[in-house]
Amino acid sequence: MVARIVAGRANPELAGRIAAALASPLVPVQFETFPDGELRPAVGEVRGEDVYLVQPTGPPVSENLVELLLLLDACRRAGADRVSAVVPYFGYARQDRRGTPGEAVGARMAADVITAAGADRVIVVDPHTLALEAMFGVPVEMLSAVALLAGAVRPALPEDAVVIAPDLGALKLARRFSALLGMGFGVVSKHRLSGATVRAEELVGDVAGRSVLIVDDMISTGATIEAAMSVVRAHGAEPYVTVAASHGLFVGPAAQRLQRPGLRRLVVTDSTVHREGGGLPLSTESIAGLLADAIGRLHNSQPLDGLLIPT
Ligand code: R5P
């Protein structure tokens, strides 16, 4: 018996690549939308199967989340033996604590509803917060695309390049890139002013006269990367910067913000379908092989050594 792949509509191309890598044809799914906007998906035959439902919850985040929930429920009711939610980009992960007493904790809410809808396991790639694991009562496999991204940027970087975290939250990520690439690292101090604006001025690390690789888990509006580029330039870095991020959402003003002569190369994965990356020096590394490898091993009850985010 093979692992069965069900594709939501958030990233059917990625699901197709995973299915092809596993030589397991996609399970047919029908989607019907009622006039009031209600969605009614129906999955094909999955009774007794080990199902992997591929649905990253990128933009539109809430719509894709609801579609994930309905598909989980459909698979469960169709008699699947086990259903794993494959959510390479996990929306709401940034809401992992309350900033003010009146806020919701979106990550926990998303974890609760995904579990309630029937996920036996969740597979994510470089989530914004590792605390996600503790928010779920079911196993969460946290895969990493860092080795893939580091391999993609390595040929274009000189040996004395510096890996820069654009904020404190990305420091561990920067250390992983720096260990893989054998380069030093530094960090920019960033303050978020709103969902789409940030302020960054200070830098810990030496970038004067050196090439810089800025790394982050995700690019949304581009504010964080834009600010980090200005800071490293102000501290004397080489004018051309490379950027690597696991998830490229490119929403709102991202394309305009990042269309700067100083951005030499921007590498992201295909975890989401890029909306506005056009015009950028963008290349995409596919995580289909990583996910297919993980799914194949989980299906055969083998360990995920070498695929997970190191602890
Ligand atoms: C936040 O801390 C994340 O790691 C990213 O830095 C952030 O979400 C990117 O968003 P934006 O591109 O809108 O600055």
pLDDT digits (tens, 9 = 90+) for 135-169: 999 999 999 999 999 999 999 999 999 999 999 99
Which tops the pLDDT comparison, 195 or 242? 242
Residues 6+ away with beta carbon under 8 Å from 119: 72, 83, 84, 85, 138
H helical segments located in 203-283: 223-234, 254-258
CB atoms within 10 A of CB 44: 13
What are the angstrom distances between the C-alpha of 108 and each of 19, 56, 172?
30, 17, 22
CB atoms within 10 A of CB 209: 9
> Which DSSP string do the residues of 53-95 spell out, in sequence order?
EE----SSHHHHHHHHHHHHHHHHHTT-SEEEEE-SS-TTTT-
Residue 212 corresponds to which tokens in the numbers above? 């810089």
Determine whether domain 146-285 maps to CATH 3.40.50.2020: yes
179 pLDDT band, cuts 50/70/90, is very high
Q: Mean of the per-residue pLDDT values for the chain?
A: 95
Express as a percent the part of the chain with pLDDT over 70: 99
- Please give the distance, rounded to the nearest whole angstrom, from the Cα atom of residue 210 to the centre of ligand 1: 24
Query: What is the pLDDT, as a whole number, of residue 221?
Result: 95
Nearest residue to 227 via CA among 252, 274, 260, 205: 260
Residues 6+ away with beta carbon under 8 Å from 28: 43, 44
Query: What is the pLDDT, as a whole number, of residue 276?
Result: 63
Give the pLDDT confidence of 192-225 residue by residue, as tens digits: 888 888 887 799 999 999 999 999 999 999 999 9
Say how many Å lie between the first and final Cα of the chain, rounded: 32
Query: What is the pLDDT, as a whole number, of residue 275?
Result: 67
4-144+288-299 CATH pick, 3.40.50.2020, 3.20.20.10, 3.40.1440.10, 3.40.630.10: 3.40.50.2020
By the 8 A CB rule, do 46 and 75 touch? Answer: yes
Spatial distance between the Cα atoms of 2 and 299, rounded to a whole number of angstroms? 8
* Average pLDDT for 233-256: 95
Q: Give the residues across from 190 on adjacent strands.
A: 200
Q: Is the pLDDT of residue 277 over 80?
A: no
- Please give the distance, rounded to the nearest whole angstrom, from the Cα atom of residue 219 to the centre of ligand 1: 6
Residue 66 corresponds to which tokens in the numbers above? 């609801």
Domain boundaries defined on the chain: 4-144+288-299, 146-285
Q: Is the pLDDT of residue 254 over 80?
A: yes
pTM equals 0.96
Among 76, 190, 210, 247, the one annotated catalytic:
190
By the 8 A CB rule, do 202 and 231 touch? Answer: yes
Query: What is the pLDDT, as a whole number, of residue 178?
Result: 98
Cis peptide leading into 60, omega within 30 of 0?
A: yes
Which tops the pLDDT comparison, 262 or 162? 162
Q: Is the pLDDT of residue 49 over 70?
A: yes
Q: Is 47 helix (H, G, I), strand (E, B) or coil?
A: coil
- Please give the distance, rounded to the nearest whole angstrom, from the Cα atom of residue 220 to the centre of ligand 1: 6
Pocket lined around ligand 1, Cβ cut-off 6 Å: 94, 128, 166-167, 169-170, 198, 216-224
279 pLDDT band, cuts 50/70/90, is confident
- Please give the distance, rounded to the nearest whole angstrom, from the Cα atom of residue 117 to the centre of ligand 1: 29
Site to probe by mutation for ligand 1, drawn from 197, 218, 250 as the one with most ligand atoms within 8 Å of Cβ, is: 218
Give the pLDDT confidence of 106-135 residue by residue, as tens digits: 999 999 999 999 999 999 999 999 999 999
* Average pLDDT for 225-231: 95
Residue 308 corresponds to which tokens in the numbers above? 């997970």
Q: Is 172 a catalytic residue?
A: no
> Which DSSP string do the residues of 165-179 spell out, in sequence order?
ESSGGGHHHHHHHHH
Nearest residue to 187 via CA among 209, 211, 213: 213
Give the pLDDT confidence of 67-101 residue by residue, as tens digits: 999 999 999 999 999 999 999 999 999 999 999 99
Give the pLDDT confidence of 93-112 residue by residue, as tens digits: 999 999 999 999 999 999 99
